[in-house]
Chains A and B, each alone.
Chain A
Amino acid sequence: MKSMKTIIAMILAVVLLAGLSTAALADENTIKIAVIGPFTGPAANYGLACRYGAQVAADEINAQGGLQIELLFEDDEHDTEKAINAYNAVIEAGAQMIDGNTTTSPCLAVGAVAYEERMFMLTPSASSDLVVADKDNVYQVCFQDPQMGTISANLISENGMGTKIAVIYNNADDYSTGIYKTFIAQAKEIGLEIVSESAFNDDTTDFSVQVADAKDKGADLVFLPIYYTPASMILQTAKNIEYAPVFFGVDGMDGILAMDNFDPALAEDVILLTPFSAFSDDEQVVNFVEKYKVISGGVEPNQFGADSYDAIYALYQASVNAGIDGNTSFEDACELLIAQFSEMEYTGLTGVMKWDETGAVSKLPAAYVIKGGAYVPYGE
């Protein structure tokens, strides 16, 4: 019996040891930035893009010499409970600031705790306006959902893209409903005619009802404030019933061309709003795309990767300016970073960024049209 007890004790010891994070000694020349996002589960696409983008930025910075960056990756599975666990894990590992969370609801949950404990957060892609509301320590790299809706409505109206508009949105998704609400409000304001509004949810795989409704009501433009996976099914459904309006997507549409088993011909002439185009011939973008593909195993970067790349560079720039090093506690770093971010300007892959006192970024999305499997700036 004694040997049995010893074995059990040993197994328990191994399990417990595996859980304890090895607390590394603080190196003065290295700052620790945590990257928290969904690396597994249904939202893994977005989390992994942020992870790869951050890795590209950190590799570049570390190659330059000077202040070094150590990235701490933790998975939040797009779940508020796991997000808090991930946040506790990175603090135990000595994180000084956070590039995250990738998605909105984990970011809200972590943000509330981080606000109390004074940990600085720069989220690459959590786009709800609630993420930064009432918290001085949370900043965004992406623009907010309400802005997206307003800008889309204005662009459609100014360029006369369509006269009768249908909207198909995901009513189980915060991102989609956020854009939908402001789009409808702005459309009413500037006199756009909305002929069809239909909703679906995360489990929907058949869009024939929504698309048929848009067709029957004679819509000549379909606004899709949704992610690219359902959008691809909508494009297929429309083709099947020989319905060819103008399709207008927002930043969630970015990534549709990189989808597995997707025929790019379906997305021909689709208009989308995005801050980042992997097809740009800008030197910085070409360089990023090349390095990103090495890390991601050949997958093209989308705006999530670019936003996270910018987040790491913005944190780095602010840290250098504020004189943060490996010995600065996260509470001190938080106050220093807040002071930096409220007045600094940063130019990155996704444009020139400045932050207002709430933590929201001001930059402009650009409209692109998909032509022959690539993004072409709208109007060219």
Chain B
Amino acid sequence: MKLKKSTVNAIISYAIVIAAFLICQWMIATKNMPRTLKGQMIPICVYIVMAVSLNLVVGISGELSLGHAGFMSIGAFSGAIASTYFLNALGLESAIVRLVLSILVGGAFAGVFGVLIGIPVLRLRGDYLAIVTLAFGEIIRNVVNCLYFSVDGMRLHVSFNNPNLPGSIIVNGPAGSKGIKAISTLPVGFVLILFTLFVVLNLVNSRSGRAIMASRDNRIAAEAMGINVTKYKMMAFVTSAVLAGMAGALYGLNFSTFTAAKFKFDTSILVLVFVVLGGIGNIWGSIIAAALLTVLPELLRAFADYRMLIYAIVLILVMLATNNPIIRSLFNGLIRRNRADQAKAGKGGDAQ
């Protein structure tokens, strides 16, 4: 049986993620992992999912989205509310079941908002999506700052700017979520990464994925071929929103409290930096960039107040290095040689 090349690549990707997971679990089990890194494992999973999902919009469908943290915010808050509701009102004790259900709820709500924004905006051309998503992120943050949710028996209460609700408060306006049980676990985080890869890789390698990329590369030609550009752009955008919402729920349930201010413009840009630095359209680049750039500021703690300065310098150096023709050809040469070795092609691959 001969598998398609894309299938083989996908299987290799899953295998690498699973291997990384096993190494992490082994390090935790043998107490070889520093506390600071262990505490960051779930945020790393979250940012990887965020970066891969944003790459779907920015890299694969070629639209600039500056409000990805808005979807994360919706996912985080709806996930937190769902989790508390399942526990308090429905008496669902199992943490893992609540976590998975909350992640699904977070993804669903973010998806609904993705559709609502996508319908008017994806019909437009040019930079409109960037501007609208930018505004969307800010609107979400300001709205959540005025929102109050509480659960009282089986009933969920919501109010705007009025904190005096019956029952126990879950979302407390500017104070953010409160009284949430932190139930996120590393295995679920890794499963979410696998799920994201599965969805994104399958979408990219499908008929729809080719239509999405055709619309990106030449809209007029794609339309002439009979492709419904809006529909396919919508597909990429909503998928990305759902995944970001799921990541948000995982993020929210990792902390006992979080505020809407966390999901502001800066976070959207941070995720965009992961995507750009990893290489636009490059899924593995996003994963590596997200993991490294999340860990980097913590590694630089030894430099105290200068660490953000050093972080910025590192970003610039990486940008310059990845765009340097000599280093690029070096990398390309390495990759080519590896492939050549694997294929056992007689001539081998010379570096340029």
* A residues apposed to B, CB below 8 Å: 4, 15-16, 18-21, 39-40, 73-75, 79-82, 84-85, 87-89, 91-92, 104-105, 108-109, 112-113, 128, 130, 170-174, 177-178, 181, 201-202
Contacts and interface: CB of A to CB of B under 8 A. Distances in A.
Nearest to B299: A19
A181 B302 contact: no
A40 B308 contact: yes
A80 B262 contact: yes
Among A20, A79, A85, A89, the one with the most B-chain Cβ atoms within 10 Å of its Cβ is A85
Contact of A181 (B34, B163, B301): B163
A92 B178 contact: no
Contacts of A172: 142, 145, 174, 261
B8 interface: no
Nearest to A199: B161
Interface of B: 34-36, 38-40, 43, 142, 145-146, 161, 163, 172-176, 178, 182, 255-259, 261-262, 297-305, 308, 330
Contacts of B175: 104-105, 128, 130, 174, 177-178
A314 to B, nearest CB: 25
Contact of A79 (B36, B161, B262): B262
B182 A112 contact: yes
Given A15-B299, A171-B145, A109 B40 contact: no
Given A108-B256, A109-B256, A84 B34 contact: no
A81 B41 CA distance: 12
Q: Is the interface of B mostly helix, strand, loop or mixed?
A: helix
Nearest to A16: B299
Contact of B301 (A19, A91, A128): A19
Among A4, A21, A105, the one with the most B-chain Cβ atoms within 10 Å of its Cβ is A105
Given A73-B304, A81-B255, A89 B174 contact: no
Contacts of B257: 80, 105, 108-109, 112
A112 B182 CA distance: 9
A282 to B, nearest CB: 33
A59 B298 CA distance: 28
Contacts of A80: 255, 257-259, 262
B39 A88 contact: yes
Contacts of A87: 39
Given A40-B305, A201-B142, A85 B36 contact: yes
A177 B256 contact: no
A258 to B, nearest CB: 21
A200 to B, nearest CB: 11
